[in-house]
Amino acid sequence: MKKLSFLLICLFSGLFSFAQTHDTQVENVINTVNLDSLIYQLRNLSGEDEVVISGETTTIEHRVSNWGNNLAAQYIMESLQAIGLETTLDTYTLDGQNVYAVQPGTVYPDEYYMICGHYDAVDYYCADDNASGTAAVIEAARILSTMEFEYSIIYALWDEEEIGLIGSADYAARAASNGDVIHSVINMDMISWDQDEDMVVELHSSTNANSTQLADYIVEINEIYELNTVPTIELPGTSASDHSSFWNNGYSSVLVIEEYYGGDFNPHYHTELDRIDILNMDYFFETSKLCIGSLASMCVPILNTSTVEMPETEDGKIEIYPNPASSSSRINFYLEKSQYTEVTLLNNMGQTISTLHQGEMKDIIHQIELPLEALSQGLYFIKLETANFSKTEKLMVK
């Protein structure tokens, strides 16, 4: 891989503040990642199955840029368009074509998080390298496009990675010169080989532009949502994939990859033997969940209250999830109308430990994220009081 010099530009990476707590919607995203969808895309992209492109039934024979890989680019563009995303086929040179789609955020539309991978290849099939990462980007788009997030999301697939990170370098340099605010970039390249079945996923990081915080964040996602992968941080990580194009332009970025340093690395990569039948689908599934869950969490899902069913209640209701819980719980309050309320946390003797809310509760569905680390194990109560009624629910801290 082409050796790239490191420029320490930290202009666009200042706003990287993370509050890591369990979020029911992120959990829903993780549970919605579907192995059949991932395999469907992996097979299509690696030429195992027929596909329909521009209305014609055909097969993506290969994705090699020097042999002409426009068919693959067109397939990816149509797949993202079918999801309902505004998609760009970015022909940055005569031969080079990146494909990307943008999902606008509702609170910070001009601030972005990105998930990406390269779709080009060096031989026929090349399922692990990198139909796997490409399929996971499309799966992210399939799921997250049905939701609303505070931040904008870019789903990107790069061309000409294999001949020197050309597509991503073009994009990242232009983004930097435009002053685009991309808070972080998750690059997936080869995420489906795990012969020793230890589920180790390497996160290749850098001291550049808060990339270490991004790697730490992904590790925390694995813990909070009790995923089955074993993420390990590699610092300094390799620069041999598209994430380093973002490092070079001052952006926070991490490579997610099978054990490239650890030794359990696909020995058939860059050959036509790299086909789906030699890959580990369970590992592919779990690694995709880790990446897609991390992206969803960073972009901050917005609770769509119109789809939340109001529980049958006379005046109000409390829901606590998870419960029992250890690190944090989310408490939903459902009220018939906006009104003055007081919410308190009580111990098992009924004594007030802290006041969680005091004042007008303006929304009929109100959420409080309650950190539990400071509490010892045992039974607690959440009490909601208004002028007219009070409700109490049990909370078990484990």
Q: Which residues bind Zn ion (CB under 5 A)?
A: 129-130, 189
Q: Which is nearer to Zn ion, 143 or 255 (CB)?
A: 255
Smallest gap from residue 235 Cβ to Zn ion (A): 20
Residue position matching structure tokens 């490239």: 260
Smallest gap from residue 138 Cβ to Zn ion (A): 16
Max CA pair span of the chain = 74
Smallest gap from residue 230 Cβ to Zn ion (A): 21
User: Nearest-CA neighbor of 95 among 122, 68, 77?
Assistant: 68
Q: What is the DSSP letter of 303?
A: P
Q: How far is CA 193 from the centre of its chain?
A: 20
Q: Which is nearer to Zn ion, 60 or 83 (CB)?
A: 60
Smallest gap from residue 129 Cβ to Zn ion (A): 4
Smallest gap from residue 325 Cβ to Zn ion (A): 40
Q: Which is nearer to Zn ion, 76 or 181 (CB)?
A: 76
Q: Which is nearer to Zn ion, 130 or 329 (CB)?
A: 130
Instruction: Tell me the two tokens of residue 253.
Output: 């970025």
Q: Which is nearer to Zn ion, 130 or 210 (CB)?
A: 130
Smallest gap from residue 130 Cβ to Zn ion (A): 4
Q: Which is nearer to Zn ion, 13 or 192 (CB)?
A: 192
Smallest gap from residue 80 Cβ to Zn ion (A): 20
User: Nearest-CA neighbor of 117 among 155, 79, 83, 62?
Assistant: 155
Q: Which is nearer to Zn ion, 27 or 160 (CB)?
A: 160
Which of helix, strand or coil describes residue 135? Answer: helix
Instruction: Tell me the two tokens of residue 275.
Output: 């086909």
Residue 323, exposed/middle/buried by CB under 10 A (0-12, 13-18, 19+)? Answer: middle
Say how far apart CA 398 and CA 395 lie, in whole Å: 10
Kindly give the pairing relationship between strand 51-53 and strand 56-58. Answer: antiparallel
Q: Which is nearer to Zn ion, 129 or 170 (CB)?
A: 129
Say how far apart CA 308 and CA 218 lie, in whole Å: 29
Smallest gap from residue 313 Cβ to Zn ion (A): 54
User: Nearest-CA neighbor of 33 among 202, 230, 191?
Assistant: 191
84's CB contacts (< 8 A; 6+ apart) are 145
What end-to-end distance do the CA atoms of the chain give, in Å? 49
Q: What is the 3-state secondary structure (H, E, C) of 106-174?
A: CCEEEEEEEEEEECCECCECCHHHHHHHHHHHHHHHHHHCCCCECEEEEEEEECCCCCCCHHHHHHHHH
